[in-house]
A and B are shown apart, each in its own frame.
Chain A
Amino acid sequence: MNATLQPMVRISGACKTFHAGTINEVRPMRGIDLEIAEGSFVIVLGGNGSGKSTLLNAIAGSFLLDAGRIELDGRDVTAWPEYRRASLIGRVFQNPFSGTAPTMTIAENFSLAAKRGLMRGLGWAPSRRLRDELRERVFELKMGLEDRMDTAIGSLSGGQRQALTLLMATWLRPRLLLLDEHTAALDPKSADQVIALTDRIVTRERLTTLMVTHSMQQAVNLGDRIVMMHKGQVLHDFSATQKRRLRVDDLLACFEDIRRRELLDESAAEMLQGQYV
């Protein structure tokens, strides 16, 4: 679109090392640069341990970077704690248990979501108005939950919980929506339902979205850009035009390529070791 438009997300030189200086040292972020335009729906792919979740956690503020900078909506949030960044970010986790407070009712959970990033005062929760609006929006899910507003959310199925968590994350329009394999723990039918809902909400609200997935099908069908990660770096970046031509096979070939390169790395390392040790 407009090149002068400020990106919604700008990450530059982001580095993170966990357990530095121990044998457990891992470096899931090795100088990541990434810009995401407003309204863009980015799919993040990559093998296990390539740093996808870490990238999302870094943006959300679950930990602070060792080096580098994160800007959200033009604001430098690098030093902001997680709860403060929540005013700009909506999140759905992989684990259906992570996104909701299990012993509290559906209505109470949404009363929390309705105050994301706002001052929480002594107003009644959930308010009458929220209840009415909630009934309407939960009815749209077609899961038959609209009459169960006062049921503990922990008694619902994983699919129902993820759908509700998605609705909660987007109840107040977030500047950025982070989805980390939010359908990975679901059975295929529930996963399809939640993906359809994701597509509907993201498209309707034109949300800037970052979605991690292991499903090539989802990667090809959804979104307008694919970022492929490997060993804490962005390896490939397919734009909307490239992505339109992309098929599942192309992506699989990409992965195969990564795998071969890794084998090469290892054998090269072995060879070097053989020579020098």
Chain B
Amino acid sequence: MTLLIGALTLGAILALLALGVYISFRIFAIADITVDGSLTFGAAVTGILLVKYGVNPLLATGAGFVAGMLAGTVSGILQTRFRINPLLAGILVMTALYSVNLHVMGRSNIPFLGAVTLSSYCERIGHHLFGAAAIDLAGWEVSATDLTVLLLMGLLVGLTALALWAFFRTDLGTAMRASGDNPQMVEALGGNVQRYRVFGLALSNGLVGLAGSLWAQYQNFADAQMGIGMVVWGLASVIIGEALTAAPSIGYAIAGAIIGSVLFRQLVAIALSFGLNPNDLKLVTAAFVFVALVLPDFLAKYGARANRRPA
């Protein structure tokens, strides 16, 4: 049960990453590798604020979001103002962020031991809510803190999803979606496509930075390596979500990314418990995304050939 709750919690936290990747990958059709750097950046900024400066965890978490937005803005400006290929722009910012993160943290890993984090808040709230350190859930003994963390993360992801859904249905959000769909038309209707793109990438990486910040507080440390390969993780979640919802509407897509993230984390947890070597995790994730990307084309081709065969 503890394992399940852990996987659910991490799935919820990484759902924010999936939402960020959804914005860049599906709305703006960019594979934005900035994500790998901005996840760590969010974690690093939150970490140093908590550990070294004892900042209020809510503020420190917000700072993680802002840090991510900053990274996304830089990536966006490289792509628009300087016309650098989006993939390359992402690689540049990600690489630069690696050094930045080491500078921010002062070393490659900072433990949060003793610092007041959102987890410590949850511990207190948990006590308040359940009146004990552990409670009985359908016959399973569950830590009140763990359950509170899960509930809080679920709430946060739900609210974020709702806010995103509402935003993408406003005049501004609709124009941003359209600028991924048909930039020429948006320009002709007076939309500044370049500005939309910068803002979109800022929002996307802001969510990723937030995910990094929460993840670090959940595992109680920030690490310079924690962002590696996370864009692929986000892609996997988005693709699973699309397979499940299969609807082009923005509401379904947002819900899909969240469900995809939680589900993918469950799959990984199960695979690990069945003896998958953690070192192979990234390989398996990459292979999964590869298959998911080529499978539809392959099936279409194979299906067409099968149909053409005389009966």
Q: Which A residues have a C-beta under 8 Å from some C-beta of B? A: 60, 81-84, 86-87, 89, 91, 93, 97-104, 108-109, 111-113, 115-118, 120-125, 152, 168
Are A122 and B185 interface neighbours, CB within 8 A? Answer: no
Q: State A109–B187 Cα separation when bound (angstroms).
A: 13
Contact A101 B178 (CB under 8 A): yes
Within 8 A of A (CB), among B153-211: 167, 169-175, 177-178, 181-182, 184-193
State whether B185 touches A101 (Cβ < 8 A). Answer: yes
A86 to B170, CA, bound (A): 20
Task: Please tell me if B248 contacts chain A, counting CB pairs below 8 Å.
Answer: yes
How far is B177's CA from A122's CA once the two chains are assembled, in angstroms? 14
Does A112 contact B186, Cβ atoms closer than 8 Å? yes
Q: A123–B185 Cα gap in the complex (Å)?
A: 21
Find the residue from B172, B182, B184, B191 having the highest chain A CB count within 10 A.
B182
Please count the residue pairs between chain A and chain B whose beta carbons lie under 8 angstroms apart in the complex: 88
A127 and chain B: residue at smallest CB distance: B171
Q: Which 4 A-B pairs have the closest CB atoms?
A: A86-B190, A101-B181, A101-B178, A120-B171
Q: B168: nearest residue on chain A (CB-CB)? A: A125
Closest residue of chain A to B172, judged by CB? A120
Chain A, interface SS category = loop
Interface residues on B, range: 20 to 34
Nearest chain A CB to B153 CB, angstrom units:
27
Known: A121-B172, A122-B172, A152-B248. A116 touches B167 (CB 8 A): no
Most B CB within 10 A of own CB, among A83, A113, A121: A83
Known: A82-B188, A89-B188. 15 other contacts (CB 8 A): A82-B187, A83-B190, A87-B190, A93-B188, A98-B182, A101-B177, A101-B178, A101-B186, A103-B181, A112-B191, A115-B175, A115-B189, A122-B167, A152-B248, A168-B189
Q: How far is the CB of A86 from chain B (nearest CB, A)?
A: 4
Task: State A227–B59 Cα separation when bound (angstroms).
Answer: 64
Residue on B nearest A113 in the bound complex, by CB: B189
Asked if residues B181 and A123 are in contact (CB atoms below 8 Å), the reply is no
Q: Which chain A residues lie closer than 8 Å to B174 at the CB level?
A: 104, 108, 111-112, 125
**Contacts of A121 on B, CB cut-off 8 Å?**
170-172
Residues of A within 8 A of B175 (CB): 112, 115, 120
A72–chain B nearest beta-carbon distance, Å: 14
Hey, which chain B residues are within 8 Å of A97, CB to CB?
Answer: 182
CB contact under 8 A between A125 and B185, given known A83-B193, A84-B190: no
* Chain B residue with Cβ nearest A86: B190
Interface residues of B in 100-125 (CB under 8 A from A): none
Q: How far is the CB of B112 from chain A (nearest CB, A)?
A: 36
Identity of the chain B residue whose Cβ is nearest the Cβ of A115 in the assembled complex = B171
Smallest Cβ-Cβ distance to A99: which chain B residue? B185
Query: Could you jot down 23 A-B contacts, CB within 8 Å?
Result: A81-B192, A82-B187, A82-B188, A83-B186, A83-B187, A86-B188, A93-B184, A99-B188, A101-B177, A101-B178, A101-B185, A104-B177, A111-B171, A117-B190, A118-B190, A120-B170, A120-B171, A120-B191, A121-B171, A122-B172, A125-B169, A125-B173, A168-B189
CA of A101 to CA of B187, assembled, Å: 12
